Amino acid sequence: MLKSVIGIVVFMLELLMLVAFGWYGYNEPTNVWLRIGLAAGLVIAAIILWAVFGSPKSTKRLRLPALAVFRAAMFLVAAFFVYRLGHPTWALVIAVTAVTTQVVSCFTEQ
């Protein structure tokens, strides 16, 4: 049951990560086209990285513990973006949840 709960939380973190990347990209530059481009670029880059290294069906998927480090790093970048957007409490919640789920996944996914 713990493995299922962790899987659901990680999936929710994945979605939140994509939202945070897009939100940050859209709020950084002043030019509207740069905002749209940076938001789309950050989200696309995150999707590509996740598809290559984190997806369960990828042929190049990382193995534990490198997979847990990769996922934690992606989530922590999202937490940093949320922090930069002026929401330190939510950034802390994302960071703690990310690290906790990845530590637990090291023990439950083997």
Following DSSP, what letter does each residue of 50-75 receive, concatenated?
Answer: IIIII-TT-TTPPPTTHHHHHHHHHH
Question: What are the boundaries of each domain within the chain?
Answer: 2-108
Q: Considering the entire predicted model, what is its pTM?
A: 0.90
User: What is the average pLDDT score of the chain?
Assistant: 92
Of 34, 48, 39, 47, whose CA–CA distance to 21 is shortest?
39
Position 86 confidence tier, pLDDT thresholds 50, 70, 90 = very high
pLDDT tens digits along 3-33:
888 889 999 999 999 999 999 999 987 889 9
Tokens 């696309």 belong to residue: 44
Say if residue 13 is exposed, middle or buried (CB neighbours under 10 Å; 0-12, 13-18, 19+).
buried
